[in-house]
Amino acid sequence: MRPSAFLALLATGARAHVSLVPAGGHLANNRSALVVRIPHGVDGLTSSRFQINVPAGVRSVAPEDLRGWSSEIRMRALPLEEQYSSHGQPVTTGPETIIYTADTPDDTLPNPNLLDITISIYLGCVYNDPNVHTIWKGQHTLWWGVEVGHSLPNTIAVSQNTSWTGCGRTGNELWDPPTGKACPYLFFTSASTCIYPDDPAAVGMKWLGTIVPAPANPSAVATEQHVLEVVNEELLSYSETQRAQLKSLEARVDSSEKAIGKLDDDVDELQKGSAAPTDGTIDRAELNQLFALASASMAISTLLVGILVGACLLRVLAPGAYTRSLISVDAIEVDAFPARTATHPLPNDNGAGYPSKPASAPVVVVA
């Protein structure tokens, strides 16, 4: 996404997904109209084909005639239990898809433009497909997948599709599906006009094998559905914005990582170039040497401090022993070791030639 498009999205919270408008307030066994709202397409391409997947249970659709576009309704055969009679005639088929195709490249939809396609629908009374009939946020929900075909400029053949077919949210799930793109949905309610000649006791729509009575207060339910519709739009726009932000952050992390990789290479090059430093810089070997020296002097000073502390402790705790330790060293050096004379040869390195310490060293009293 270009930064300008991203900013525009942030600024307006514009929906970037396909919606049915209104999504809420529809009624079983009744007619209503809605708009299939198709947002902008794909950068550099136009939109040339729209396929609207009509969920089972919708008895009929009447799509708007769009100038420059041809529309077609493909039908499905109805299972026996979904068949019904109209004006005394049995009805055995229902709409499956509505397909719009642009007549010429000039008729295709440019990327930045929005398109609203109005269709009128007639909802039935029998719903049996758990893939596209779910209870979501407490509402009976019909899922309508939409596929948008895109073409290269000045062509009409579809070169790429955007599939808004992540259908079938249940419970309190977000509209945003775990994979794919959010599928347009419709909320509706049961009606007491749903009756069945072969099952006179049943009143209300048949939902996945169960009779659902009409709500006691349909207008309150419709209001609730419209509120949910607004919230769903906001949440999906929000998560689309988040995803766009995440994408741009990922791109930035990616380019930062590349820059760091390049810096690493540069440092390696510099180190290779300064193997024999003549410019006053310190190389790795020298650093190691310095570090070893520093460690050694640290060890030595620690040892010295230890000895000093030991000596102080000895002086405080055992003054007599402290005095003797000082004296004995001096005594050995001063008195016990003979001066170098003809009769006393120098001791060799192994200590041979030193006389053993006298049994009783002379006592020197330290003032």
120 binds ligand NAG (CB under 6 A): no
- Give residue 146's identity as a one-letter amino acid code: V
Determine, following the binding rule CB under 6 A, whether residue 117 of this chain makes contact with ligand NAG.
no
Stretch that binds ligand NAG, among 152-160, 259-267, 319-327, 355-363 (CB under 6 A): 152-160
Nearer to ligand NAG, 9 or 145 (CB): 145
In DSSP notation, 323-342 reads: HHHHHHHHHIIIIISPPS-S
Q: In this chain, which of 92, 120, 160, 170 binds ligand NAG, going by CB under 6 A?
A: 160
- Nearest distance, CB of residue 202 and ligand NAG, angstroms: 16
Please say which residue, 50 or 175, places its beta carbon nearer to ligand NAG: 50
When the beta carbons of 9 and 205 are compared against ligand NAG, the nearer one is 205
Measured between alpha carbons, how far is 269 from 261 in angstroms, rounded to an integer?
12
Strand partners of residue 60: 122
User: CB of 29: closest distance to ligand NAG in angstroms?
Assistant: 6
User: 159 vs 297, which CB is nearer to ligand NAG?
Assistant: 159
Residues 154-161: contacts with CB under 8 Å, at least 24 apart: 154/105, 155/105, 156/48, 156/101, 156/102, 156/104, 156/105, 156/108, 157/48, 158/48, 158/49, 159/45, 160/42, 160/45
Nearer to ligand NAG among residue 31 and residue 357 (C-beta) = 31
Q: Is 62 exposed, middle or buried (0-12, 13-18, 19+ CB in 10 A)?
A: middle
Tell me whether residue 141 or residue 165 sits nearer to ligand NAG (CB atom): 165
Applying CB under 6 A, the site for ligand NAG has a residue count of 12
287-324 as b/e: b if 16+ CB within 10 A: eeeeeeeeeeeeeeeeeeeeeeeeeeebeeeeeeebee
Sign of CA dihedral 333, 337, 341, 342: negative
**118 CB burial (10 A radius; 0-12, 13-18, 19+):** middle
Q: Which of 17, 123, 147, 205 binds ligand NAG (CB under 6 A)?
A: 147
Dist CA 95 CA 78 (whole Å): 10
- Choose which of 161, 237, 241, 328 interacts with ligand NAG (CB under 6 A): 161
149 is an interface residue for ligand NAG by CB under 6 A: yes
Cα distance between residue 112 and residue 53, in whole Å = 24
CB-based burial of residue 191 (10 Å sphere; 0-12 exposed, 13-18 middle, 19+ buried)?
A: buried
Residues numbered 19 to 48 that lie near ligand NAG (CB under 6 A) are 27, 30-31
Identify which range of 156-164, 167-175, 228-236, 280-288 contacts ligand NAG by CB under 6 A: 156-164
**Contact region with ligand NAG (CB under 6 A), list: 113-121, 159-167, 287-295, 353-361:** 159-167
Using rule CB under 6 A, residue 191 touches ligand NAG: yes
Nearest CB to ligand NAG, comparing residues 160 and 223: 160
Half-sphere exposure of 231 (CA within 13 A, CB side): 10
Shortest CB 268 distance to ligand NAG, Å: 46
Q: x/- contact string, 284-313, with ligand NAG (CB under 6 A)?
A: ------------------------------
List the x/- string, 51-80, binding to ligand NAG by CB under 6 A: x-----------------------------
Q: How far apart are CA 124 and CA 25, in angstroms?
A: 15
Cα-Cα end-to-end distance for the chain: 92
Kind of pairing, strands 46-53 and 30-38? unpaired
Contact region with ligand NAG (CB under 6 A), list: 137-145, 153-161, 335-343, 344-352: 153-161
Binding site for ligand NAG (CB under 6 A): 27, 30-31, 51, 147, 149, 158-161, 191, 193
